[in-house]
């Protein structure tokens, strides 16, 4: 693992995808298919580089509270006659934790995967979704 001063290259790879790649997302079939493809790619890479001591995992968050997500939800909400906030409120009620995921949470998981203590995690799709996908 690269600690900033070592010439040794980083020994991990993380893909950032969505739970839509595992569970699908209504009205978003192309998006879901593209995310599922990257999950498959990540698993294949994990097998290819494992002997080199490199890990490859996919971080699959649910809706991350960012400006881009809010813009997308405004557009989707308009399709159903809702404001952005009304649509986000409806979405949040489907999350067992009743909240959006934060960018800091996603960054924290990504950072953890760079630690030596995470070297046994390889080829995994890690759901960061508050329990939306539990299978």
Two tokens, residue 58: 């996919």
**118-123: average pLDDT:** 95
Active-site residue, from 16, 27, 31, 87: 31
Q: Is the pLDDT of residue 3 over 70?
A: no
- In the annotation, is 31 catalytic? yes
**The whole model's pTM is what?**
0.81
Long-range contacts: 72-78, Cβ < 8 Å, 24+? 76/27
In the numeric block, the tokens 């080829």 are attached to 123
**50-58: average pLDDT:** 93
Q: For position 134, what pLDDT does the model report?
A: 78
Mean pLDDT estimate for the chain: 86
Q: Is the pLDDT of residue 65 over 50?
A: yes
- Give domain limits for the chain: 10-62+118-129
């Amino acid at each position: 693992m690269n600690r900033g001063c070592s010439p040794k290259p980083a020994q991990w790879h993380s893909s950032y995808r969505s739970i839509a790649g595992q569970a699908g997302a209504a009205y978003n079939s192309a998006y879901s298919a593209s995310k599922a493809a990257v999950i498959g790619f990540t698993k294949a890479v994990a097998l290819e580089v494992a002997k080199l001591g490199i890990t490859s995992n996919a971080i699959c968050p649910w809706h991350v509270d960012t400006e881009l997500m809010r813009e997308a939800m405004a557009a989707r909400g308009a399709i159903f006659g809702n404001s952005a906030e009304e649509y986000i409120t409806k979405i949040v009620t489907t999350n067992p934790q009743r909240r959006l995921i934060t960018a800091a949470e996603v960054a924290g998981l990504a950072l953890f995967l760079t630690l030596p203590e995470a070297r046994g995690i390889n080829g995994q799709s890690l759901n960061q979704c508050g329990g939306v996908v539990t299978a």
